[in-house]
Amino acid sequence: MRQTDDGPDLDAYFARIGYCGPRTATLGVLQELHLLHPRAIAFENLDSFLGRPVRLDLPSLEEKLVHARRGGYCFEQNTLFWKVLASLGFQVSGLAARVLWNQPDDTLNPRSHMLLRVELDGSTWLADVGFGGVTQTAPLRLAAGMVQRTPHEPCRLIETDDHHRLQVEIGGEWRTVFRFDLTEHFEVDYLVSSHFVSTWPASQFVTTIMAARALPQGRLALKNDRLIVHETGGASRHVHFATAADLRATLAADFGIDVPEPDRFDARFAELGFGQGES
């Protein structure tokens, strides 16, 4: 296993996501990597749920997401993706967003989500492989009002005063995912934000089990003891887990995640009252 300070282990990363294409800074390469990454590397917050540290240095990210075949949340996923893109010659910088998913558009939340800005051939693209249940599966051009087709949901960017809002179309309804501006953020900014969301006792990343994965024809979205299987163009299927063991088996089989410290995970599952019924 190669861990150096001069860039990511591209061979290992490409093997992890199943990429065999060219290593050049082109739109086609960006689109292919952006599709394959969230299919292979699940969104998950098991470390913060179990009180384990979340590290954002490159060797730790490679060890966890690439070699140990775990997943991670936005700061981990997008930091790794940033390092990969930069090593291929892409011009990448960091942005931050206020999450508005399932909340009114005028909610004022902290900037708790990381996304990437990619400058390519005179155009600005947004890359984000770590949002969760509606993680982008394609880069989006920074162009207000234009409906942009992706391998999954259609997306659009709405420009309002001093910020942009990302929206996705689900069931014929446009729903806001987050709002952001173009203020550049740096790795030190994400260290502070990541530490807060992964350790604050009331954070959903501490109190809630979350996992998500993009599929070739749909998505998986897990919250606590409930799994929703979304099939593109079809109905959604809901699954309830009565035991932590059943949930761990699904995380392994469908998300590719071996739960760390399974005994501790099972104890927290019971402590928080998960698996107690269908209501």
Among candidate residues 116, 133, 111, the one with its CA nearest the CA of residue 196:
111
Between CA 157 and CA 126 the distance in angstroms is 10
Question: For residues 185 and 278, what is the distance between their CA atoms, to the nearest angstrom?
Answer: 43
The CA distance from 75 to 54, in Å, is: 9
Q: What is the pTM of this model?
A: 0.95
CATH topology of domain 200-271: Arylamine N-acetyltransferase fold (3.30.2140)
Mean pLDDT computed over 26-31: 98
* Residues catalogued as catalytic: 74, 113, 128
Q: Is the pLDDT of residue 161 over 90?
A: no
- Among residues 139, 143, 144, the alpha carbon closest in space to that of 118 is found at 139
Angle at 96 between CA 216 and CA 153, to 5 degrees: 25
For 233-266, the DSSP string reads TS--EEEE-SSHHHHHHHHHHHS--PPSSHHHHH
Q: What is the mean pLDDT of the chain?
A: 95
Convert the pLDDT of each residue in 52-93 to its tens digit. 999 999 999 999 999 999 999 999 999 999 999 999 999 999
pLDDT, residue 186, reads 98
Decide: residue 257, CB within 10 A, 0-12 exposed, 13-18 middle, 19+ buried: buried
pLDDT in tens, 228-244: 999 887 889 999 999 99
Q: How far is CA 151 from the centre of its chain?
A: 16
The pLDDT tens digits for 127-151 are 999 999 999 999 999 999 999 999 9
Q: What is the pLDDT of residue 25?
A: 98
CB atoms within 10 A of CB 163: 15
Q: How confident is the model at residue 3 (pLDDT cuts 50, 70, 90)?
A: very low
d(C-alpha 253, C-alpha 259), whole Å = 11
